[in-house]
Amino acid sequence: MVENIITSVQNSKIKKLRSLKQKTTRDTLNMFVAEGDKVIKDAMNAGLKALDIFVLDIKSSKFIEIINLALEKKFPVNYVNEKVLSSISQTKSPQGIIAVFDKPENGFSLEAMNNIRFAAILEEIKDPGNLGTIIRTCDAVGVDLIIMENCTDIYNPKVIRASMGSIFNLPCYDTKLQQCIEHMVKDDWQIGCGHLKGDNFFNRVQKHKVALVIANEARGISEATSDLCTDLWKLPMNGKADSLNASIAAGIMLYDIHNKMI
């Protein structure tokens, strides 16, 4: 029988967790929320510090493995009732476990890019589902670096869920796009982006170091950024559709770039 259950939605820890639904609060407190046992376990295994874990009391036995892992790491575990869980969950069907983590440090430097040869650069990806899916795809492909520029917050709970824990497996940096691309071009990187006026992507001549710019879903790449790129690419459309979802296009292109690197 679980004891000391949090039953009030006005509990200070519960109120703090609810405040983290806002990006400004996440940025100010340098914290984020993860929901679901897989995502929470992935975050802990990646070395992130859980500040609080909240478990639905009637489902505590279901999460015994992750509870034991948390206690082993000396992370505080709290039990809540269904009313409290519903007040802090951001899903229609809560799994029954939610955690608050410290954000990892950024640690980005242009010099660090000298040791990699494959990068994904994101410009103004606004849809959380797309962003999370792109992060998951980059993790699967093995892209060494993701650089975020004016995108939806990568610690938005919807992004974290869509990434299926991949957000904790690779570095996600927030830096100035123009400065980064200019540095890469000087270092002989091939910087490609999807563009309506681009050449057939599959006919490209690929260099040793390649970066793919994945741009805003609705507007596409900005003129300022496309001017910085060394190559403009277009996926051929053999059917009647005239475009692809940003995350789908990114997956096709990232895998093909990777395959030509092997």
- Per-residue pLDDT, 54: 97
Residue 155 or residue 112, greater confidence: 155
Q: Mean pLDDT across the stretch 238-259?
A: 92
The yes-or-no verdict on residue 9 having pLDDT over 90 is yes
Q: pLDDT grade, residue 2 (50/70/90)? A: low
| 153 close to 159: Cβ distance less than 8 angstroms | yes
> What per-residue confidence (pLDDT) applies to 14?
97
Return the sign of the alpha-carbon dihedral for residues 214, 216, 217, 222: negative
E-strand ranges in the chain read 5-6, 31-35, 50-56, 77-80, 97-102, 118-123, 145-149, 172-174, 190-200, 210-214, 231-234
pLDDT score recorded for residue 106: 66
pLDDT one-digit tens code per residue, 121-163: 999 999 999 999 999 999 999 998 788 878 999 999 999 999 9
Q: Does residue 172 come out as left (phi exceeding 0), alpha (psi in the -120 to 50 range) or beta?
A: beta
pLDDT exceeds 90 at position 39: yes
pLDDT per residue over 178-212, tens digit each? Answer: 888 988 999 999 999 999 899 999 999 999 999 99
How many Cβ atoms sit within 10 Å of the Cβ of residue 116? 14
Q: Is the pLDDT of residue 104 over 90?
A: no
Those residues whose C-beta lies under 8 Å from the C-beta of residue 179, and which sit 6 or more positions away, are: 110
What whole-number distance in Å separates Cα of residue 137 and Cα of residue 140? 5
Give the pLDDT score at 74.
94
pTM score above 0.85: yes
Which residue is associated with the tokens 């476990």? Answer: 97
The reported pLDDT for the residue numbered 111 is 77
Output the pLDDT for position 109: 74
Asked whether the beta carbons of 181 and 110 are under 8 A apart, the reply is no
pLDDT tens digits for 159-185? 999 999 999 988 777 778 888 898 899
- Of 242, 251, 148, 239, which is closest to residue 196 (Cα–Cα)? 242
Hey, what domains does the chain have and what are their CATH numbers? 5-102 (3.30.1330.30), 110-261 (3.40.1280.10)
